[in-house]
Amino acid sequence: MANVVVVGAQWGDEGKGKIVDWLSLEADVVVRFQGGHNAGHTLVIGNQTYKLALLPSGIVRPGKLSVIGNGVVLDPHHLVDEIAKLAGQGIEVSPANLKIAENVTLILSLHRELDAHREQASTDAVKIGTTKRGIGPAYEDKVGRRAIRLMDLAELDTLDEKIARLLAHHEPLRRGLGLEPVTAQTIRDELTCVAPKVLPFMDTTWDLLETARRDGKRILFEGAQGALLDVDHGTYPFVTSSNTVAANAATGSGLGPKAIGYVLGIAKAYTTRVGGGPFPTELTDKTGELIGDRGHEFGTNTGRRRRCGWFDAVLVRQAVKTSGIDGIALTKLDILDGFEEIKVCVNYKLDGAFIDHLPASQAAQARIEPVYETIEGWEGTTAGARSWADLPAQAIKYVRRIEELIEAPVALLSTSPERLDTILVHNPFQDR
């Protein structure tokens, strides 16, 4: 059996929630290894729809252990709210099925305020298109070695000195930005009131996961955003503040690289993006609007309309390489039903020359021109298909062409939000 890492192969919002839920039936443990509560996952199980932002997707399945790893930044108040929301839908979250790394970094109200202030700035260069939930500033404090971590809530006698260390950075920053000062007592109150609600979930998760691995348990690592939002390998600076590529599943959970077996990338049959940044295949016409309407392309937690465009094989091929993707789960093929022609970006032109990758330079990314290949569409429907025999022949040709272009096989094909509407080609938990 192979432990499986699930990563988005585009800019996020690829439908990871359904695929992780589908795979979690075979998993024993589901781990979130990066990001914060800015990553919405929608799960449709029977007639119930669950919208998660922070909790691992396995939390809605009985008998599964969910783990929030050290690579995540955690808003403790949001965690409490999300647990309560699930309770209202009949899902019980307790220390028996949820463990949180003791060394996870916490998101505080001052992080949210700083994030929102930057996004509301009049200077476009300051705006990244974040969700204003404090994720970026929390990661800044983590690498600046001044963060408050979950374990600190269990050591209230030393909390004041840690708050002082944090404010030594934030006080002059807030003064310079014209923000209201925040007192140490305010932060202490913010943390002490929530501590009893979150500390019961705290555990030494790296040891727990290594024990599970040695015992032969099947571990599913769940990424939040897509590989193209990786702080190193994405469209910088229009990226998230953590490493989203598959290798971070090990670092963000406290395991060694050998813990990773199969890497499953998730990609839509077209491309979407939320927020600012380059988007070579973006369609700002009626076709892009039609794809967005058909695909219900609105953020799970933010409600923001997503930018839509044709499938970009160059970007996905790049994600295949930077994440070591073994197979792709292709989602939302049904949204392309009925198009007479479908375009796929197979190359770029930069200053008149053909290139086969997205350059790291922000200025070069802005000048990229997509080179398209036109593929014949299909008249039949792919919605709800559960076998290759259910698909129009031209739809199969489209999938096969994508495989060739991204240099990776399609392991799963998703044809609706329903879990059972999935065509399995390779089982990631069994295929190495």
Catalytically active residues, by annotation: 13, 41
- Alpha-carbon span 141 to 152, nearest angstrom: 15
Residue 213 burial by Cβ neighbours in a 10 Å radius (0-12, 13-18, 19+)? middle
Residue 226 burial by Cβ neighbours in a 10 Å radius (0-12, 13-18, 19+)? buried
Tokens representing residue 66 in the block: 């969910």
Q: Is the peptide bond before 257 cis (omega within 30 degrees of 0)?
A: no
Strand 327-331 with 262-268, pairing: parallel
Which residues lie below 8 Å from residue 96, measured CB to CB, with a gap of 6+? none
Q: List, as one string, the DSSP characters of 293-309.
A: HHTT-B-TTT-PBPEEE
Contact of 335 with 291, CB cutoff 8 Å: yes
Which residues lie below 8 Å from residue 145, measured CB to CB, with a gap of 6+? none
Contact of 26 with 412, CB cutoff 8 Å: no
Give pairs for 381-385: CB < 8 Å, separation 24+: 381/334, 381/337, 382/333, 382/334, 382/336, 382/337, 382/415, 383/334, 383/337, 383/415, 383/416, 383/421, 384/334, 384/415, 384/416, 384/418, 384/421, 385/334, 385/413, 385/415, 385/421, 385/423
- Alpha-carbon span 93 to 368, nearest angstrom: 47
Q: Give the three-class secondary structure for 366.
A: helix
Contact of 314 with 348, CB cutoff 8 Å: yes
Instruction: Taking each helix axis as running N to C, give the angle between helix 393-406 and helix 313-323, from 0 to 180 degrees, rounded to the nearest 10.
Output: 50
What DSSP state is assigned to residue 130? Answer: -
Separation of CA 431 from chain center:
24
